[in-house]
Structure 1
Amino acid sequence: MFAALPFTLALITSPQSGWETKSNTTKIPFEVHNAVVKALQEATEAQTKRDYQLSLALLHGIIYNDGVKIAVDPDGLTPTPAARQGLTNALNSWDKALEKDNPIQFVSDPKKAHLTLQFVDKVPRSGHDALGLIELKKRYSWNRSRYEIEISGTIFIQTHYNRIPLSASQFTEVIAHELGHLLGLDDLNQTGQLMGPMILDQPVSGPNARETYAVQIVRYHAKTQWNTVVDLINASKQSQPEAEFLSYEQEYLATCTVGRPCKYGKH
């Protein structure tokens, strides 16, 4: 049995400006990553086809119903005091922005985490200016009566730029930026905002109102649709027999880089 989800939406900014139509039925802020928009569209298509468990699985991958847990990877570099403070600040910035609807949870045991955060000397598979990288995988399995979802990945955080150690405030921006990707945000072009190009001597401390609203509106749409699908399942009153599971995976890769001149950068 699936329960309806409680949700709230605080309208932080006017929905009449800065919107981009990324769906035939729903207008989504342009700050939202296309992979998340695609998941919403696929959930709607699955609902239309009465493939309700697939729809719920896809929505779960956006909402993170039970939370998404992260922990520091002990196989990485030992985090410096500045790195630890930056991590704390980054987590707090999203807690403050989303309040009780922040699904990100920090845990001390990596074995209990969905994703690990690894401090490294060099971000793998990235250019020489990369400061952060998130590798995120979601595996969905479903049949007519239930679904399963596996979320895993790694967030890589480089500890220096041009051999100069990052400060706590710089760590804050890089980590909070990667957490923004985890929550479904895309990279932006404008400086002075969390998901935009980084200015090393003017680090951003957290998401602004529009970035916060973009996450909130996506979660609002996903929770609304979740409740609709649950109502449809309950209304059908049909006991679906067990069937062979179907499955597929989604992989997401996003980097945080610093460009030239050195005081400027982009995620």
Structure 2
Amino acid sequence: MASFGAPDRARDFAIVGRRALDAEAFRNAVATHLSGRVGSNRDVLVFVHGFNTGFDEARFRLAQIVTDGGFNGVPVLFTWPSKGSLFGYGSDREAATASRDAMEHLLLDLAALPDVGKVHVLAHSMGSWLAMEALREVAIAGHPDLDGHLGDIILAAPDIDQGVFRQQVERLGPGAHISVFAATNDRALGLSGFLAERPRLGAIDSTSPDGRAALEGLGVHVIDLTRDSVGLIGHATYASVPEVIRGIGAEIGASRAGDRNRQAVLGGEPDAPQFEKLPAPVVATPLPAPQAPAIAVP
């Protein structure tokens, strides 16, 4: 995204097209992009933005993560109607709460597509709470692992009460693969915890006795970004440090057993070390209603 003037398509992210899609057309569009792909290129990455984040900022953030992380599957942006204001925390919390069912439907729709591989979820800040609540609803509905399609769950600076998180994880079951990017010097989460009088997951110190006790038995992988903190507030470090973004890409793009035969499908040797990289699609849907969550494929 250009800071000033018109974007340079050789260096900046730019919007080059837009088309409206209803729910059925959206599913068909994603299915079309998945068709013919093999291995981990059949995966979908669902990104959920956080507090005080508008639609434009969210889609450019996803474009950055996909590009810098080297993700070769299909990226999907789940947007919810954030007020886009530092003083709109309460309003955003209500909007995130109202968006849980929509995200649940999205996850189930993606998992039901005929050619889909794994469905990964990357969520930031308040979006982490929304994502975990939607996954909890999916589990209650009888699909705790999205019928075998649930991939990595990555929570960046999650604004989630630690006790609530335990309940969410226990509902998902022991098979969930969850990573948490945390920082003890995240000032946004420090304020959130102070106001709620409850510690937030994204500010946990996994090396302390209290931190270890909070995570005990959950099987959650915690990555401490305290030393890598960027900016005065330190709430978006996960997307500001190149090594972290590359780590996210490596995590969700890691080769699986079925990938060994990818080149055989493409006409090469089964064990060839280099795989063809397929481009990500450019598709989007608008907000279906003034206060309804939106789904997009950037």
TM-score by length of 2: 0.28
Bigger relative contact order, structure 1 or 2 (CA pairs below 8 A, ≥6 apart): 1
Name the structure where helix makes up a greater proportion of residues. 2
Name the structure where strand makes up a greater proportion of residues. 1
